[in-house]
């Protein structure tokens, strides 16, 4: 069997770690990357000695948010809820930005097991 082309990945809601039991949790609506987008996100990434991805470059995170973050719920400041706009992405805390894009990377990579089972 030849190589099977990637097909569209489903959008999904992501809740950052530590907010699972929070009644007013912030959620992010994400769209996984295609192969080309994934290449740009992973450019300049940092890996540990075992080859595991541990962090992304600032450019990779910025590009990843632009391509993958589609909406949010309950993201607020002291004046109330912040309307979803790309121009507001800078207001996301560093760890949240990294977490969103790392989760997108995980969902965007077709695992070897999935390829073997297709």
**Tens digits of residue pLDDT in 4-30:** 666 667 899 999 988 777 788 999 999
Does any domain span residue 12?
no
Domain hosting residue 85, numbered range:
25-109
pLDDT level of residue 117 (50, 70, 90 thresholds) = low
Structure token pair of residue 44 = 């300049």
pTM of this structure = 0.84
* Structural domain count, the chain: 1
Amino acid 41: pLDDT:
97
Does any domain span residue 69?
yes
Question: Tell me: the pLDDT tens digits for 29-62?
Answer: 999 999 899 999 999 999 999 999 999 999 999 9
Does any domain span residue 10?
no
Does any domain span residue 7?
no
> Facing residues of 53 across strands?
47
**Residues 6 or more apart in contact with residue 60 via CB below 8 angstroms:** 40, 41, 42, 43, 44, 45, 101
Does any domain span residue 114?
no
Query: Over 70: is that where the pLDDT of 1 sits?
Result: no
Mean pLDDT over each residue of the chain, to the nearest integer: 88
Q: How far is CA 90 from CA 5, 37, 70, 81, in A?
A: 34, 20, 15, 15
Among 30, 29, 31, 26, residue whose Cα is nearest residue 81: 26
Does any domain span residue 58?
yes
Structure token pair of residue 39 = 């290449």
> Facing residues of 87 across strands?
none
């Amino acid at each position: 069997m030849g190589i099977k082309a990637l097909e569209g990945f489903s959008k999904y809601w992501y809740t950052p770690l530590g907010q699972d039991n929070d009644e007013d949790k912030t959620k992010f609506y994400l769209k996984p990357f295609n192969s080309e987008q994934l290449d740009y996100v992973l450019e300049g990434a940092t890996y540990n000695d075992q080859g595991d991805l541990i962090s992304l470059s600032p450019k990779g995170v910025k590009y990843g948010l632009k391509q993958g973050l589609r909406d949010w719920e309950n993201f607020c400041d002291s004046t109330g809820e912040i309307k979803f706009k790309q121009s507001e992405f800078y207001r996301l805390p560093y760890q949240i930005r990294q977490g969103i894009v790392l989760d997108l990377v995980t969902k965007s990579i077709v695992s070897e097991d999935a390829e073997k089972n297709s």
